Amino acid sequence: MSSTRNQPAAFERPGSKTEKQGTTMTGAQAVIASLEAEGVDLVFGYPGGQAIKIYDALFDSKRIRHVLARHEQGAVHEADGYARATGRVGVAIVTSGPGATNTVTGIATAYMDSVPLVVITGQVPRGVIGTDSFQESDIVGITMPVVKHSYLLQTTDELTQTFREAFHIASTGRPGPVLIDVPSDLASEAMVFDYPDEVNLPSYRPTYKGNVKQVKQAVSLIRESKRPVLYVGGGIVSSGATPELTELAETMQIPVVTTLMGKGAFPASHHLNYGPIGMHGSKFANMIMTESDLIIAAGARFSDRVTGKLSEFAPNAKVIHIDIDPAEIGKVREVRVPIVGDLKGVLGNMVAELAKQAVPPAPASWVEQADEWRKRFPFYHPGVGDRPDEIVPEIVMSTLSGMLDPEKSVVVTEVGQHQMWAAQHIQRETPRSFITSGGLGTMGFGFPASIGAALGCPDKTVVCVAGDGSFQMNTQEMATAAIQNVPVKVLIMDNRCLGMVHQWQKLFYNERYSSTLLDPVPDFVKLAEAYGWQAAQVSRPNDLVDALEAMLCAEGPYLLDVVISRDQNVYPMVAPGKAMNDVIGAIDVAVGAVRTLGDDEQDEKGGRR
């Protein structure tokens, strides 16, 4: 099977046979030559005893730049951020034992969000595997649930074929991480380098072309529908299907709502984009989904953070589910028309079939209703909960959004309240311009991922929006950014607490703040200066714009510590276990631009439904 057959353009293999073809070399040298043959020019990692031979071979490479992380987890997140921002396969190299086990969180993060990675781990010599030798861990067994595939090399004869397969598997079908475990004695053995152009994996043949009959069935459902909605996830980004999605939405006048991973898949400025849905999505987007009679799920997986109480989720809607991974279809929600295939081709075929059958657009009254809800239930309204002497998180995010060139910037987030504020208020126009840990929700992901994104997109401004809790998970990577002169900008929403858990404790646990209050340590400005960064703190609303301008205009890495109140909560919110139309804290301009309570709280307090 050809390695690029039916692949999306974003994952076409950039490498080719090199001048090293047919050269005698060691296994370690063949590892590096294989990476070069795949077109890899940047890897992230951390050396150690069982990986030292690979690193020695890397020393001689004229094509590959190595970025030395300060922790193996940071290295994998950096490779992940690079992959998400560029669409290419990210690569990390680490040693055995604790070096390998430190990668697990990063690998799991990439797996949950379908990110193409190849992680190379050193391993103890083959003769002592399984004897609990020094710095040995069964990393293949440990990572089995969170990789797309894994290899433990046994001979040099399989080395180049393994690397060829690994990059192919990581980047095709539903992308994901692949692990290659390289015993150190194998890295010393002599071999003849022969890198294959083709991959033959009879058991792995992703379906790219959607079934024609099912596409026609989907078109019939669209024709019958009066209130359709396009529910869009990260699969649109992976497939590069934004043009086809836009054409389908415009042709049929269908509202588009997005998951966290789908942000940027459809332009924020488009009048049919109704933004994020789910636990911290807008009330109007959740109402669109709830009242729809047809859900066209495109590269989305009906996550629990989207559906809420599943039995009450979009109760009157039929479902068309399009995904390249057949395991996702019907896993959570019953599907009327399943279509397995690549979104770019499937959506394009649907548009063509709709035109062929002259299917009219959805009734204008549906979009008019959606617009009415959008006006009535905005994400933010001046004066609601504002305190003139405090910085308001929503204003920080919307101000930052207005200062960034949407075509020349990438926003990366950590995980927590700040992540949700960023998703709600930072507008993105293009795919791969908003990077976040959606599936695993990994605190400590965003900052190292922003380093990888900045190295992958040196012509773009990269801003990491972080919380004071999550940023401290991988602060050691400040050294990586400083030494590599990566001009990443870190904006910390500093509330001296673990904000999202603190919010849950406030709303659902009678304000019993168990282990969520953080003392004001460290001094982030001094910490940044210790790493050679520029930094500043801002605590007054009137100083915010100047502080943001200073951050964005600075050369090199910069940290801005934005002081906000612990009492600031992310609204609107759907409580755990509640239906998506039972929203806490949504703003309703029809009753004076006040925040409304959820159904249960309103019943208890005698409020309106």
Q: How far apart are alpha carbons 451 and 42 in whole angstroms?
A: 12
pLDDT one-digit tens code per residue, 107-161: 999 999 999 999 999 999 999 999 999 999 999 999 999 999 999 999 999 999 9
Instruction: Note whether 488 and 114 are within 8 A (CB).
Output: no
Asked if the model's pLDDT at residue 29 lies above 90, the reply is yes
**For the residues 94-109, what does the mean pLDDT come to?**
98
pLDDT band at residue 385 using 50, 70 and 90 as cut-offs: low
Q: Are 346 and 296 in contact (CB under 8 A)?
A: no
Q: Identify the helix (H) or strand (E) that includes residue 80.
A: helix 72-86
590 within domain boundaries: no
19 pLDDT band, cuts 50/70/90, is confident
pLDDT (tens digit, 9 = 90+) per residue, 434-456? 999 999 999 999 999 999 999 99
- Whether 579 is covered by a domain: the verdict is no
The percentage of residues in the chain with a pLDDT greater than 70, rounded to a whole number, is 95
Q: What is the CATH number of the domain that holds 476?
A: 3.40.50.970
- Count of domains for the chain: 3
Q: For residue 603, is it within any domain?
A: no
pLDDT band at 382 (very low <50, low <70, confident <90, very high): confident
Residues 443 and 531 reside in one and the same domain:
yes
- On whether residue 488 sits in a domain, the answer given is yes
The string of pLDDT tens digits covering residues 272-307 is 999 999 999 999 999 999 999 999 999 999 999 999
SS3 content of the chain, % helix, strand, coil (to 5): 40, 15, 45
Say what the pLDDT of residue 13 is. 54
Do residue 559 and residue 431 come from a single domain? yes
CATH code for the domain of 312: 3.40.50.1220
Domain around 489: 393-563
Asked whether residue 3 carries a pLDDT value surpassing 50, the answer given is no
Shared-domain flag, residues 431 and 534: yes
Are 320 and 363 in a shared domain? yes
Distance CA 432, CA 127 (A): 44
* Confidence tier at 9 by pLDDT (50, 70, 90): very low
Please check whether residue 99 lies inside any domain of the structure: yes
**pLDDT tens sequence across 479-527:** 999 999 999 999 999 999 999 999 999 999 999 999 999 988 999 999 9
Question: What is the separation of C-alpha 70 from the centre of its chain, rounded to a whole number of angstroms?
Answer: 22
| pLDDT above 90 (res 196) | yes
pLDDT tens-digit profile of 320-361? 999 999 999 999 999 999 999 999 999 999 999 999 999 999
pLDDT of 7 reads 45
Q: Is the pLDDT assigned to residue 469 strictly greater than 80?
A: yes
Q: What is the pTM of this model?
A: 0.95
Task: Say yes or no: 254 and 299 in one domain.
Answer: yes
Cα(572)–Cα(592) distance, rounded to whole angstroms?
A: 17
Assess whether 352 and 299 both reside in one domain.
yes
Read off the pLDDT of residues 240-273 as tens digits, 9 standing for 90 and up: 999 999 999 999 999 999 999 999 999 999 999 9
